[in-house]
Amino acid sequence: MIFKNIDFREITDYQNRDYKILSVLNDKIKKNCKVLEGDFFLDSFNYFPLTFDNNSFKNIFSWGDKSKYDHFYSKKFNDDFNFKKKDFQNIKNVFVLGTSASDNYYRNIITFLPRVFFIKSKRINIAIHRNSSNRFRVLVSEILKKLNIEIKKYVYLDNEFYKFSESQIPQFFNEALGIKILNKLLSSNKEEKKDLKIYISRQNSIYRNLINESDLVGKLREQGFRIIDTKNMPIIEQINYFSSARVIISPTSSVLSNLIFCKKGTEVIEIAPIYKTKHENLFRDRYLRISKVLNLNHNFLVADSVENNKIDINIDKLKFISKKFLYESNYYKDLLVKKNEFEKIISKF
């Protein structure tokens, strides 16, 4: 039997012998979250629950490009799934928060993290991907501690399908709503005066290093900018920096996902290369979309792209990226800005 999609309008208080869909309210933001509770199958890449009676709920359990879910309804997938499902590992009594299989910071923060605010139990097991960074686990633990929720243990998922019993998985929110939820619930010191100017360095990163950064640091400090490197910085500390910033300058980077913690009117200068393909434009617009949702003043400083010899050395760390795209895309090259143009911009602040 092939899986079918249950339309959103039919989901309210949907109940079955093996599962039900609950509506969980967060009182602080007055938002509801649909939560599938009971028994279901789930993969650890899409986190797309499939019920024992061959139902799915694409309207609320999908994120990103919706076309990636088409294969769940193909005969080939269903034949293969039904043949293998008897061998799926059974995991019981967990809350499936989920995280990116490639530990992508943007995806973990924007897509998965907002769901942590819709846990109704006071003692839980949390399922996340094994590749999740320790920093992200610490962030989740700190948030739940403040919510007086005890994590009994983390359950780590590999790139597999699983059978979940007596478990819960929350819906995915659309990007704009997820941004607003995090800005409302995690931004710190929202009533205090904020006048911090920060420049984010990528000198310890594999790609998109600003290769003439050393020529610019002196002028940045002269203008009162604080130079920070977030590579080993706890996420809570990153949140505090972005929440307190009046001006943020950074090479394009997943750290700009932290724009979700900024106050209205924050000045953002994103140093970015010229992108050549439609796929690359997804990177270009990613942080701009956050700024539009939160009314930040977002501008781009276009940089030249420079070949990057670190890629070959670190190729194993980039295994989730197509090699063709990795070597051809300007997104994975280093950056070079015109010094006079850069200094003219920062002198405005």
| DSSP conformation letters of 141-189 | HHHHHHTT-EEEEEEEE-SSEEEEEEEEEEPPPPHHHHHHHHHHHH---
Does the pLDDT of residue 175 top 50, yes or no?
Answer: yes
Nearest to 55 by CA among 75, 31, 37, 73: 73
Confirm if 131 and 278 have CB atoms less than 8 A apart. no
Hey, what are 258's tokens? 């932290």
- How far is the C-alpha of 345 from the C-alpha of 4, rounded, in Å? 54
pLDDT at 305: 83
Note the pLDDT tens digit of each residue in 77-116: 999 999 999 999 999 999 999 999 989 999 999 999 999 9
- How far is the C-alpha of 182 from the C-alpha of 194, rounded, in Å? 19
Rg (CA), the chain: 22
Note the pLDDT tens digit of each residue in 111-162: 999 999 999 999 999 999 999 999 999 999 999 999 999 999 999 999 999 9
User: Which residues does residue 301 pair with via DSSP β-bridges, in sequence order?
Assistant: 271
Note the pLDDT tens digit of each residue in 31-84: 999 999 999 999 999 999 999 999 999 999 999 888 999 999 999 999 999 999
User: Which residues does residue 155 pair with via DSSP β-bridges, in sequence order?
Assistant: 127
pLDDT range class, residue 191, cuts 50, 70, 90: very low
Q: Please provide the average confidence, as pLDDT, over all residues in the chain.
A: 89
Note the pLDDT tens digit of each residue in 249-260: 999 999 999 999
Indicate whether this model's pTM tops 0.75: yes
Cβ neighbours of residue 76 closer than 8 Å, sequence gap 6 or more: none
Domains and CATH numbers, the chain: 4-184 (no CATH), 188-346 (3.40.50)
Confirm if 155 and 127 have CB atoms less than 8 A apart. yes
Note the pLDDT tens digit of each residue in 283-296: 778 999 999 999 99
- How far is the C-alpha of 33 from the C-alpha of 183, rounded, in Å? 17
